Amino acid sequence: MPNATAGLVVVEVGAGSDGDVMAALDRLLPRDEALYRHRHGSPGHGADHVLPLLAPPSLTVPVIEGTLALGTWQSICLLDPNADNATRSVRLSFLPA
């Protein structure tokens, strides 16, 4: 994924979980400008550049018989708190076992 401020995660979404994920992210990476040297862009943008430490830009998920091997409530999500970029792209690669 060619983005410096976004990452991929496997997480449960819905039933309030997505809001919990974003609230936890705000606690781990506060948007306070005074905490970061990287200060261009929207307020808190320095935190966006630290995000890949917690949500990497790549993810490996097994595919078994043509189906993603995820748990019942799991989804693959793009985690991107960066308000400066409204459009993102994701690159998928399938590797033979």
Query: pLDDT tens across 32-65, in order?
Result: 888 888 777 787 788 888 998 999 989 999 999 9
| Nearest-angstrom CA–CA distance, 64 and 62 | 6
Q: Which helix (H) or strand (E) holds 49?
A: helix 45-50
Domain boundaries, the chain: 7-79
For residue 1, pLDDT beyond 60: no
Q: Give the mean pLDDT of 62-79.
A: 92
pTM: 0.81
The CA distances from residue 10 to 21, 39, 41, 82, in Å, are 11, 29, 28, 19
| Percent over 70 (pLDDT), the chain | 97
Buried b (16+ CB within 10 A) or exposed e, 45-55: bbbbbebbeeb
- Kindly tell me the number of DSSP H helices and DSSP E strands found in the chain: 2, 4
State the amino acid at position 81 in one-letter form: P
H/E stretch holding 78:
strand 74-79
